[in-house]
Structure 1
Amino acid sequence: MKKRITLIGSNIAKTGNEFIYCGLLKECESCRFKKICHDGLVKGRRYRIVSVRSANHPCKVHEGGVKVVEVEPVKDIIILIESKKALEGLTISHRDIQCNNILCKNYMLCHPEGICNKYKILKVFDEKVKCPKGYSLKKVLVSPIDDKPEKP
């Protein structure tokens, strides 16, 4: 996957951290760092920081300024899907599990952010998934096959 240079808040600029790019803010429009900060990133896509440079730069959005970081799109994401669709090697379109229980421990796996519309199932995990609604779910490792995220 292609690595990109961008800026991120100094407080969260740590190798291995992930974030979802949310797009250009009004405060960013007149910033001299706008191009490096926003060009090359896809709104709604999940990125992982692979390296952090030491210099700190001022920012109207991030308290404490920003650091230059090298990021790459996250290529493997763990999610929950319906058991009947959980087949290694299968390429499918993403659909969130139909549930609005935000207090459920599985909610973020059933409603992952920063996932692409289509992905390939790399691995199906054997562990049991307990769903309060009674859905038959499997935990899977997926890899995006396009660069258009589902949730901006």
Structure 2
Amino acid sequence: MVITLVGEKLAKPGLEFVYYGPGEPCKTCKLARVCIGNLEPGRRYKIVRVRNIEHPCPLHEGKVRVVEVVEPAIDVLIDPRYAIAGSKIKLTFVECEEPDKTELVRPEGLFEGDMVKILEILGDIECNGKKYKLVRVMREKE
């Protein structure tokens, strides 16, 4: 569980977001350490709890709220040889040139080389004439 700050209008349990890095005003903000210091650029986060604490913010229409976030499970295509529920693997993205499958091939929030745990096998998907497994994974923190 990570504590961070998000814009008041976005502070809703269940909302997912990808952190892309700090905005210009963040670099001199006294709350930057708790706001963005706990987040990793390019990672996806899910709000699990909104606390009743708010702070002024020049980026988020005036206010941010304190929230608790986790990295959510993410669906990704993998080589079927490695699709074993409960196993931990080093993530290798598959080759697929079909634009409609980009979010499953290289989902935001995961990086090639991440250690992930396969939570569930969701089915088969074909791409470029090859069959891959669609799995739901959770990143294993180091």
> What's the secondary structure of 2:81's corresponding residue?
helix
**1:97 maps to which of 80, 94, 98:** 94
Match of 2:141 in 1: 146
CA contact under 8 A between 2:120 and 2:136: conserved in structure 1?
A: yes
Match of 2:131 in 1: 136
Structure 1 unmatched runs, 5+: 148-152
C-alpha separation in 2, matches of 1:81 and 1:70: 30
Letter paired with 1:23: G
C-alpha separation in 1, matches of 2:54 and 2:141: 33
CA contact under 8 A between 2:88 and 2:117: conserved in structure 1?
A: yes
Identify the range of structure 1 (79-88 vs 51-60) with the bigger mean alpha-carbon deviation. 51-60
Structure 2 unmatched runs, 5+: none
**1:46-78 deviations in whole A, cap 9, x for unaligned?**
22111113454332222353211111232x222
| Compared CA separation, residues 83 and 33, structure 1 to 2 (3 A) | same
**1:82 maps to which of 79, 84, 108:** 79
C-alpha separation in 1, matches of 2:140 and 2:54: 35
Q: Does residue 119 of structure 2 align to residue 122 of structure 1? A: yes
Letter paired with 1:94: L
* Alignment TM-score, normalising by the size of structure 2: 0.81
C-alpha separation in 1, matches of 2:141 and 2:68: 21
Match of 1:150 in 2: none
C-alpha separation in 2, matches of 1:121 and 1:83: 12
**CA RMSD in angstroms, aligned pairs only:** 2.2
**1:34 maps to which of 7, 32, 35:** 32
Higher helix proportion (structure 1 or 2): 2
CA contact under 8 A between 1:47 and 1:72: conserved in structure 2?
A: yes
Percent pairwise identity: 38
* Alignment TM-score, normalising by the size of structure 1: 0.77
